[in-house]
Every structure is written in structure tokens, then in C-alpha cells.
Amino acid sequence: MTSHTLSKLIELAAKRFRIEPRTLQPEDDIFIKLEMNSFQALSLLSDLELAFDIEIPDYELQGVKTFQGLADVIDKRR
Amino acid sequence: MLDLSKWACLGETLLDLMSKYKDCMALFEVNRDREIGSWTYSQFFEEASRLAALVQDHGFASGDRCAILMSNQSKWLFSATGVFWAGGILVPLDYKLTPSEQLSLLKHSKASVLITEWPIWLYLRKENWDLDQVLVLVTEAPANAQLGRTIRWETSLKKPFQFFKRVREDVACIVYSSGTGGRPKGCMLTHGNYLYQAQVLGEMFPIQSKDRYFSILPTNHAIDFMCGFILPLHFGAAIVHQRTLRPEFLVSTMRRYGISHMALVPMLLKAFEKRTRENLESLPKLKQKLIQQLIALNAKLTKKTPKYQFSKILLKPIHQAFGGNLRLLFAGGAFVDPSTAEFFYRIGLPVVIGYGLTEAGTTLTVNDLRPFRADTVGKPLPGCKIELRDQNKSGVGEVWVNGPTMMKGYLDDPDLTKEVLVDGWLKTGDLGIFDPTGHLKLVGRAKNMIVTEGGKNIYPEDVESTFEDLQGSQEVCVFAANYIWPTGRLTDEQLLIVVRPNPGLAKEKLKSAILERNQKLADFKRLAAFMVWEREFPRTASLKIKRDLLAQEIAKSFQKETVLQTLS
């Protein structure tokens, strides 16, 4: 489940931030790699909710630093 | 006309307002597109008085301290009001800090009560701190939650509360301006500080009882505490809380509630600007051209002063995208990019730019919009005195301030208080210059710190502890890049780490070691760059790094572009 979530998540992040998906790794720091601020991270969360058909409260993003961490949050809500 | 002179403390004024506006709407709370609550002033009174009685029932006495650690929501306001009615001192904590940072500030504040939310409480509990001395009230806990000694915030109680009046000189809030990783700076702000600030701002920017204020910044933030709590209630206006900051729900809430006022940090302001520009660019070329002409006409006709109704009609499609009723934006917490403020003014949405420090209440200077100026932080507020000391030939000097909103001092730190408060004057550490019209322009910092676009003050010393014993390093020191190489601007501020590596260490290895530690920090505190410095750091007799000297040596030896290695 997680590997599917992870690859879909990376695909969506790459699309939103116009970046090559191959350059994104599970343990990459999402804020540094995507050069995003916390407000942009919330927009990404909206994309993920739509794609995975789940609802993720903003506070779930607290402490999440990597793509893997974000994938875990998604899986918890599915 | 707003007259707060008859009131001695925030509790007293809030109590009077509840009966004065009892049938008016006070609060709306929305989660995404669902309204999850609404309260009139008399219902607000019920909630806040129940909370006051609840803490008093557990031994909370006048003068005791209560910390609030909550996201942006109505219970923050009920809790704060209840604490003031019980004569307590409020300690607003930032819910975006890490749990260990929150707990270290909680401990430093000596709060006897903590009011928090269930998800935050779950994170805090994992830290295994001894909180036996603290009474914890938690909201929104699931029905089957194992609470132990923790009390549900929603607990009903039939007992009445006992009102305790404070005087203007009493401390109302202890607000932490920094110190999460080092020396905590708990600013003690008095009831008098807040009442004076509310009086002055209320006179300059009066709100009407039909107005709706959109609270999207957390209320622990000084701007939202004043603009999204104290001020709207004084005018009998309603406050709207949105539990998410997703852009799509912000806009839908603005439409649904006819939001008239809101406060933003520059990061959010820029996000709104980007969205608006993208919307305009997506229009057919001819329509784009027409709207640009209307924007130019609006800018021309509102040059001297804003004309809200006129702009609203002239630029209706743009205003509709902000809900159709937005009149005023308050921006602060960090330096506002003049081009962004200019953009909003041109489309008929004035941005009130001010300058303030936690140590000095909410605001020291503000742009009164007569006329709008995007390039300054405005003129000093009535009663606020500003001096520029140690001026250079161009007139740039360090900003010192004095007035009725100065804090009493830092909690339990008289030495640090003496360093910044001298004969009643506060040394801000910011560099500024006055223009001929009396507007203050900020041009840099004399202190080693940054303010993020999200309005967070970050002191390098607080971040440095994360990089102690960095693998492959002999010494490390964290700086604000602007402190070493001043740019004269207060935007795009970044932190960098200077490392004296072990001999022969490859830069890539050093970079990965820094990146690994960087991940442990909250996102807004992370370093943006690093540089290698081969010489030993200058130190004092007690072995503290002489930061100013090291910064000077680096600046003398290198140009920023040639040495900085990005951490992205």
C-alpha cells in the first residue's frame, strides 16, 4: 500500500511543483526539495485529498518532513 | 467613538462588551465548507464564564498563569476571556513549535494550567515530560479517550465564576518572542499596554458592528490577538475562524460570511497576490487589457485616499474573488514586500502596513493610508516615541522606542531586560531612517536574527543547538545572512551555518551531515545555506563565540556569492 501511495504522492508533488519525479526520493525533505513554504504545503495537501479521496486535517502536517512521512499520513487516513 | 479609559483591565472590558452586544453575533467557526459553530455575545459569555468557573473549581487563583496551546479556533477566545475574568495571566503558546519547544516554554512560564486540543495533546504526551504540576484541559478529545488526570474542556459546571479585577499595571500576558532553543524571552505585557493599543488602533481603523473579521492567523500571534480578538469585540463585530488554511476554503469562507477585514502575514499576502495574478492572466487578452486599464484608473483616482465603494464597483470581478466585501487588510509580523502591498492597493484593497515588536505590544508605527505608502512602515502611533540612535551619515540609525505599550520586562530575566530596556526606552535592534514626511523606513537589522515571511522571529542562537557536535566539524556558528552581508532589505532573509570542518573533510559529506540535522528543525527554522571557515572562531574569555567579530572577519574575507553553498 505504502509504495503505491508514495509513488502517487511523488507524482502529484512533481506535477504541482514542476519538477522531474525521478529526482524525488522517499527520505527527501519535502520543504527543501520542493522549495515550498507551509502555505504551499497546504495546497499540496488539497491535491492529495482529491487524489486519494480522503480528508487530512492541517495539523497532520505538523512534524512531517519527508515524502515517506507524508505517505504514512495518507495511509493512516485511508 | 471608542473610549477604553474607564476600564482597568481586559477582563473588565470584555465583561462589559458581552452585555452591551449580547444579541449580536460574536463568532462563527468553519471547518472547510462546513459551519461548525456560531455564538452570539451572550453565548460567548456563557462559554467563557463556564471556563472561568471550571479552572477556578480546580484551584486557579487570581494572578495564576494559564497557557493556551491551540490552533485557530473559537475556544481560544473563550479560554482567554475566561482566564482574564478569573484574574489570570495568559501565556499564548505557538502551536507550530515542536512539542519539546512548547513544553520548554510552558515550563519556563510556570503556568499552572494548560488549555490545548486533543491532537496537540497527543504529541505533547509522547515527550514524556513531567506535567504533574500542571492542570491540563483538553478540547475535542474523542468520547473513548483515556484522559487520566486531564480534564475535558467541554466539562459542564453549574457553579458561577468569581470575577477578579486587575489594574492596568498588572501583567495580562506573557508572550514568548523567542528562546525555544536557548534563553526564553517571555515578554510581560500589561493590561494597560493592550488597552492603550486597542484605543489607538480602534480610533485609526474603526470597525462597524456589521463587519466581519476573518481570523486566519493563530491568536497567539500578536496581530491576531489585537485585530482578531480584542478590537472586533470592542466594536460589536463578528469574528470568523476557519480551521484550515487551504486557499480554496479561505476564499469560500470570505464569500459566505462577507468578510470585511483580515490580518495576514506577508507569506499569505503573496499567496493571494499570486492567485489573483494567475486569475487575471487566465482571462482572454482583450478582457485582461480592459481590467488592467480599470486597475490603472482605480490607482489614479485613489491616489490620495482609499475609496472603497468606488473600487468595489469599478473592479467588481476582482473584489468578488475576495468575497465581495473585503475592505481592509492588516499586514505585519514580517516585512511586507512593497510591490505586493502596491498590487493590492491598485486593485482597491488597501494593506495597512505597520511595524511592531512583541516587546512593545502589537504596533509602534502604522501607515494611515492618507496617502497609501508601500515603501515605509508608516508614522509612529500617537503616544509612541521613536528615536534613531547612532545614526550614520545617511541618517540610518538603530530604532529605539518608548511609549505606553512597552513591556514590563522579560519574565525572570532582569539581566536581559536591562540589555533591551534602558530608562524606559526599548532597543529594537532594527535599523531605520525617517523620510521628510515622518514615515519610518526599515533598512536592516543591527541584531543577528531573521523574520520569516510567515512572521516568525528566528534567532540563530536558538537554532544552533541542533548543530552542536555536528559530525566532521570542530566548530559551528549560525548567522542571519543579512547580519554578515547587509542587503538593506528585510525580505528573503535566510539563516546560514558557518562550519570549521575537520581537516580533509569533503564538502558533500559535511552537507549531508547538516541536512540530516536540518530536518529535525521546524520547517520555518531551517538553514538555507552553509559555508566553510577554516580559521579558529574568535572567542571570549569564557569561550563564547564572538559573533560580531566572526561576522566582520567573514564579510571582510569573502563575498556572499562566492562562499555560500545552498542546502537545497
How far, CA to CA in Å, does B309 sit from each of B259, B298, B372?
A: 15, 11, 17
Q: Which residue of B has its CA nearest to A34?
A: B568
Q: What is the mean pLDDT of chain A?
A: 85
**Domain range holding A45?**
2-77
For chain B, give every residue range classified as CATH 3.40.50.980: 10-26+38-206+214-235
pLDDT score recorded for residue A1: 44
Inter-chain CB proximity A39 and B523 less than 8 Å: no
Q: Which of B298, B303, B338, B334 is nearest to B318 (CA)?
A: B298
Contacts of A46 in chain B (CB under 8 A): 246-248
Strand order in the sheet with B89-92: B151-152, B135-139, B113-117, B65-69, B89-92, B171-178, B185-190, B409-410
CB contact under 8 A, A63 and B96: no
Q: Tell me what pLDDT residue B180 has.
A: 54
Cα distance between residue B355 and residue B399, in whole Å? 11
Question: Which of A38, A64, A68, A73 to mutate to probe the B interface, most B CBs <10 Å?
Answer: A38
- Spatial CA neighbour of B558 closest among B527, B528, B531: B531
pLDDT under 50 in chain B at which residues?
Answer: none
**Any idea which residue has 473584489 for its cell?**
B319
Minimum-distance CB partner of A39 among B71, B98, B267:
B267
Distance from CA of B301 to the nearest CA of A (A): 34
Interface test with chain A among B241, B275, B523, by most A beta carbons within 10 Å: B523
HSE-up of residue B276 (Cα within 13 Å, Cβ side): 25
CA distance A30 to chain B (A): 10
Give the residue carrying C-alpha cell 488602533.
Answer: B201
The CATH number given to B265-445 is 3.40.50.12780
- Closest by CA to B185, choosing from B400, B404, B355, B417, is B417
Contact residues, chain B, for A60 at CB < 8 Å? 119
For residue B494 the three cell numbers come to 535566510
CB within 8 Å: A45 and B267: no
Find out whether the peptide bond into B382 is cis, omega within 30 degrees of 0. no
Topology of domain B459-566 in CATH is: GMP Synthetase; Chain A, domain 3 (3.30.300)
Q: Is the ipTM of this complex over 0.90?
A: no
CB contact (8 A) between residue B246 and residue A65: no
pTM tops 0.80: yes
C-alpha–C-alpha distance, residues B431 and B480, integer Å: 15
Burial class (CB in 10 A: 0-12, 13-18, 19+), B123: middle
Question: Cβ A37–B244 below 8 Å, yes or no?
Answer: no
CATH number at residue A34: 1.10.1200.10
Q: Report how far apart the first and last C-alpha atoms of chain A are (Å, whole number).
A: 10
Reduced to 3 states, what is the DSSP secondary structure of residue B397?
Answer: strand
Distance from CA of B500 to the nearest CA of A (A): 24
CB B213 within 8 A of CB B9: no
Q: Is B217 in contact with B356 (CB distance < 8 Å)?
A: no
Q: Which of B95, B247, B524 is facing A38, going by the closest CB pair?
A: B524
The SS3 assignment for B73 reads: coil
**SS3 state of residue B421:** strand
Q: Give pLDDT, residue B344.
A: 96
**CA B319/CA B313 separation, integer angstroms:** 9
The helix, strand and coil proportions of chain B, stated in percent and rounded to the nearest 5, come to 35, 25, 40
Alpha carbon distance, N-terminus to C-terminus of chain B: 53
Distances (CA, A) of B199 to B18, B187, B328, B365, B406: 18, 21, 18, 14, 15
Please tell me the total count of domains within chain A: 1
The type of residue at B40 is T
CA-nearest residue of chain A to B118?
A: A59
In Å, how far is B351's CA from the nearest CA of chain A?
20
Quick one: which H or E segment has residue B28?
strand B25-31
How confident is the model at residue B181, as a pLDDT? 56
Residue B42, pLDDT score: 98
Distance separating alpha carbons of residues B492 and B473, to the nearest angstrom: 28
Q: Which chain A residues have a beta carbon less than 8 Å from that of B519? A: 29, 65-66
**Is it true that domain B10-26+38-206+214-235 has CATH number 3.40.50.980?**
yes
Decide if B246 and A46 are in contact by the 8 Å CB cutoff: yes
- Sign of CA pseudo-dihedral B186, B188, B191, B196: negative
Q: Do B243 and A58 touch (CB under 8 A)?
A: yes
- A41–chain B nearest CA distance, Å: 9
